[in-house]
Structure 1
Amino acid sequence: MDMIMSNLQQQRQINEQLRHEAAIKRMNVSKAIEDLIKYIMEHEQEDCLLVGFSSQKSNPFREKSSCSIL
């Protein structure tokens, strides 16, 4: 009996989740792509991977210098 009640409650939760997801307002992919391209174009000057870094020290991807023992 507990198994049936547990299964029923699980199905109700799934049903509630599906109702919630169905109520979400959707956007056309073409509009989303336009917005994404616009955002990228507006922020490309701030993208360090496109324009580079102002100095080598500000580059978090640079090779770390190795420690040498004298």
Structure 2
Amino acid sequence: MDVLSNMQQQRANVEQLRREAAIERQPISESCAKMLKYIAEHEQEDYLLVGFSSQKVNPFREKSSCTVL
């Protein structure tokens, strides 16, 4: 019974490796160029770079100050 389960596990491993081998790959240089293009096109939408137009639209602002009684 142990040999049968081991063979099933090995078949599952082989099938997984075949699926992974079939995935289309890209060269790093191509991927980096696409990322740089995306970043350049969307940098005006990045609040970490341009900030918020006002404190009201900032979701990270302090909601209220802490008051000690």
For the superposition of Structure 1 and Structure 2, which TM-score range results when normalised by the shorter chain?
0.7 to 0.9
Match of 1:59 in 2: 58
Separation in structure 1 between the aligned mates of residue 62 and residue 4 of structure 2, nearest angstrom: 59
After superposing on structure 2, the runs of 4+ consecutive aligned residues of structure 1 that deviate more than 4 Å are none
Unaligned stretches of 5+ residues in structure 2: none
Match of 1:68 in 2: 67
Query: Identical aligned pairs, as a percentage?
Result: 65
Equivalent residue pairs, number? 69
CA shift for structure 1 position 62: 1.8
Match of 2:35 in 1: 36
Separation in structure 2 between the aligned mates of residue 22 and residue 69 of structure 1, nearest angstrom: 62
Q: Secondary structure at the match of 2:63?
A: coil
Deviations 1:27-60 (A, max 9, x none): 0000000000000000000011110011112112
Q: Secondary structure at the match of 1:40?
A: helix
Q: What RMSD in Å do the two structures reach over aligned CA positions? A: 1.7
2:19 is aligned with what amino acid? H
Separation in structure 2 between the aligned mates of residue 29 and residue 69 of structure 1, nearest angstrom: 55
Separation in structure 2 between the aligned mates of residue 57 and residue 40 of structure 1, nearest angstrom: 26
1:47 is aligned with what amino acid? D
TM-score (norm 2): 0.85
